[in-house]
Structure 1
Amino acid sequence: MVAQGGLGYLESARWHDGTLWFSDMTRYKVYRLSSDGRPEVVADVPGRPSGLGFDPDGAPMVVAIDDAQLLRLGNATPEKLADLAPVAFHPNDMAVDRNGRAYIGPQGYVFGEDPVGVSLVVCHPDGRIDTGGEDLIFPNGIAISGDGRTLVVAESFRAPRTRLTAFTVTDDGSLVDQRVFAEFGSPDTETIDGICIDSEGAVWAAFPWIGEFRRVRDGGEVTDIIRITPDTEAYPDGGAFAVDLALGGPEMRTLYMLISDTNPQRLGNSMDATGRIEAIEVDVAGIRD
């Protein structure tokens, strides 16, 4: 166990500058782990934090879901970089490339209503906002390959089969050549949440409803599966949701797994969850900053 206690529903695991960062959507905070494994509060985000990333100078950036804003953290008051409301309903997860471009996935529709296909939102460092891709169903986890040329996004609730969708990233940040990276089962069981990419271009993906983390190659071959179990002492009535993950550590071979013990009803009503972070060593390293 890396960290537990005092944490809620965790999202957006990111390894940056030798430490793990993540958002707590229940407690409206962004954390990083200290050298002794204690979560340290980086910022309070009243607009409910989700997607995290870092600009070329290392400043943290976060998506505030409820306010539909892209923020830069670091000062006493977060700085608004972009108002996402005109282009994104419930902006959620995010990946930031080495040029500072932020790729953001909007939820796109209200749960319980018919899914609506959307595009990714691309926020450029100069303030321009573009879109990329089309007909994405609940684009969620987003990751960029080590060479910056491939972006992969999880279509969490696409029916009849959830999928990872890939794009080629052009020199100006545009997304072209939309294609299927891998397909899975029904969104009732195999919905996908957070993802990360390793140095071989394979994707680690979190499957919350079934409590699994899987490593998947382009084309759909699953090479590794990690199954997690509920922490019934911390949350007696819940299951173990595999939420997000990141590769880090001294050799970039430590897979940090964000896990939230909860159940669908309590999660849907108030994001009620008990969060924890576990880690395991894997064979293929992640991508360094």
Structure 2
Amino acid sequence: MVRSSRVLPADARRVVAQGGFGYLEGARWNRGALWFSDMTRRKICRLSPGEEPEDVAEVPGRPSGLGFGPDGAPMVVSIEDGRLLRVGSGGLDELADLAPVAFHPNDMAVDREGRAYIGPQGYVFGSDPVGVGLIIRHPDGRIDTGGEDLIFPNGIAISGDGSTLIVAESFRAPRARLTAFTVTDEGALVDQRVFAEFGSPDTETIDGICIDSEGAVWAAFPWIGEFRRVREGGEVTDVIQIEPDTAAYPNGGTFAVDSVLGGPQMRTLYLLISDTSPERLGNSFDATGRIEAIEVEVAGIRD
């Protein structure tokens, strides 16, 4: 692994939302606003620049991965009951029951055709890891799988031209890694390959990711409180270090959970951060979350 000496200064970041949040996941930029899941409060939330955050919908089965259909309607993975849902004007509509084909579906990316690529956890924590493929839900309702032997596929992102999908294998041993696929015109995943590798998942486990306009990946490393910009092959060009606030949160660490590029010029990197610990997360997702932002050099992908 190549580490960069360019650590972005802490005073370049600003807090854009805090107070009342729990464990924040599923960062997505859509139609001029930041969307995310508050897993603790079981809410889908939206934050428009310069405004207060708002709760858009409640997901009783606990929301995680977010995406948007071609019509702009939000889609969300409901973890506890294993369903893919659409948020409509009348509430939540089921698009797919994933429980028969996926244990503990989690993060998701949706392409411009409306295909949903979903990463199942695949195994119970504490047991031996089980390799799985991604679940692909097509707009016509068909369910396929793509890839194989992925260990805890977590953060998922699709390149601007739709030709590449990258997924974080959070607990791949002996080294956590990003895995890439070529996406065919029919939405199939082929040419499975390693995009980048890191250290042991005991310390350098990867959570949420996003892709910028140069094809580099911003990856979140929760255990060590870092966001890194990574090029294919493993070169790290930029690092954001989140220092723990031990005075305010003496019972937990500062988790770098997820990020996404947005803002008027698509150069604002929104950082989803939660102060918690693995023990506090448990099944209740006990955490205190906030959202920070920093301006970066390379823009994101416009929706």
- TM-score normalised per structure 2: 0.94
Which residue is 1:64 aligned to? 78
Q: Which residue of 2 aligns with 1:281?
A: 295
Q: Which residue of the other structure, out of 256, 261, 284, is the alignment partner of 1:247?
A: 261
Over 3 Å counting, the alpha-carbon distance change for 1:220 and 1:35 in structure 2 is closer
Asked if residue 231 in structure 1 is aligned to residue 245 in structure 2, the reply is: yes
Correspondence for 1:13: 27
Q: Which moved more, 1:65-74 or 1:232-241?
A: 232-241
SS state at 1:204 partner:
strand
Q: Could you tell me the TM-score, scaled by structure 1's length? A: 0.98
Letter aligned with residue 212 of structure 2: D
Deviation for aligned residue 1:238: 1.4
CA contact (8 A) 2:49 2:263 kept: no
Give me the whole-angstrom Cα distance separating, in 1, the residues matched to 2:206 and 2:254.
Answer: 14
Q: For 1:1-289, what aligned pairs fall within 5 Å after superposition? A: 1-289=15-303
C-alpha RMSD of the superposition:
0.9
Per-residue deviation, 1:175: 0.1
Q: CA deviation at 1:232?
A: 3.5
Paired residues of 1:2 and 1:37 also in contact (CA < 8 A):
no
Question: Which runs of 5 or more structure 1 residues have no equivalent in the other structure?
Answer: none
**Deviations 1:47-73 (Å, cap 9, x if unpaired)?**
100000000010000000001000000
Mapped to 2, the partners of 1:12 and 1:269 lie a distance apart of 18
- Is the Cα–Cα contact under 8 Å of residues 234 and 274 in structure 1 kept in the other structure? no
CA distance in 1, matches of 2:49, 2:233: 38
Provide the rounded CA distance (Å) in 1 between the counterparts of 2:78 and 2:284: 17
After TM superposition, the runs of 4+ consecutive aligned structure 1 residues lying more than 4 A away are none
* Cα distance between partner residues in 2 of 1:261 and 1:182: 27
Higher relative contact order, structure no. (Cα contacts within 8 Å, ≥ 6 residues apart): 2
Which letter maps to 2:278?
Answer: P
Offset at residue 107 of structure 1 (A): 0.2
Alpha-carbon distance between aligned partners in 1 of 2:148 and 2:266, rounded to the nearest angstrom: 33
Percent identical across equivalent pairs?
A: 82
Amino acid at match of 1:142: I
Deviations, residues 126-162 of structure 1 (Å, cap 9, x unaligned) = 0000000000000000000000000000000000000
TM-fit CA distance, 1:204: 0.3
How much has 1:201 moved relative to structure 2?
Answer: 0.2
* 8 Å contact kept, 2:22–2:41: yes
Indicate if the aligned counterparts of 1:33 and 1:40 stay in contact, CA closer than 8 A.
yes
The count of corresponding residues between Structure 1 and Structure 2 is 289
CA distance in 2, matches of 1:229, 1:75: 41
